């Protein structure tokens, strides 16, 4: 059983998120997803998410390529989550390249190319300007 773990806010879920999760799932037998809490999103991005953490968890849990999700409370606990869920591979989008290389002693670390031309920030801007 090869376990893949990934993390993200997944606010205003879009095709870039879907592509990332689908490709992450294809790297193993089960995919576990850490979903940023509202407080962590505030710390990372300086704003509240559009969808709260309960709704974002519900959306992620409803995807067929996700086996399980949990709340990620802080960026600093990745080593703990990797051990807790016996993850063999950590997958992140390539906007995080190099940021998690220190975890290579615990598991494989894999950065996948982001889907171009789609982002939550851009979606929020388009909706607000209409």
Site residues, ligand C2G (CB under 6 A): 7-10, 16-17, 20, 36, 44, 72, 75, 92-93, 95, 114-115, 118-119
DSSP E strands, 20-125: 30-36, 68-72, 89-93, 108-112
Query: Which residue, 9 or 53, has its beta carbon nearer to ligand C2G?
Result: 9
DSSP, collapsed to helix, strand or coil, labels residue 52 as coil
Structure tokens at 67: 């086996």
Closest approach, Cβ 43 to ligand C2G, in A, equals 10
Q: How open is the CA angle 95-55-92, to the nearest 5 degrees?
A: 20
Is the CB of residue 37 less than 8 Å from the CB of residue 54?
no
Q: Which residue is nearest to ligand C2G (CB)?
A: 93
Query: Which residue, 21 or 88, has its beta carbon nearer to ligand C2G?
Result: 21
Closest approach, Cβ 65 to ligand C2G, in A, equals 13
């Amino acid at each position: 059983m090869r376990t893949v773990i990934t993390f993200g806010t997944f606010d205003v879920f879009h095709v870039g998120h879907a592509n990332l999760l689908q490709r992450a799932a294809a790297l193993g037998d089960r995919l576990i997803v850490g979903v940023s809490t509202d407080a962590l999103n505030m710390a990372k991005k300086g704003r509240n998410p559009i969808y709260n953490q309960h709704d974002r968890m519900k959306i992620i849990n409803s995807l067929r390529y996700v086996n399980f999700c949990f709340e990620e409370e802080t960026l600093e606990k990745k080593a703990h989550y990797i051990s807790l869920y016996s993850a063999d591979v950590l997958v992140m989008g390539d906007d995080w390249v190099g940021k998690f290389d220190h975890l290579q002693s615990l598991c494989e670390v894999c950065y996948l190319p982001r889907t171009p031309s789609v982002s939550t920030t851009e979606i929020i801007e388009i909706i607000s300007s209409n």
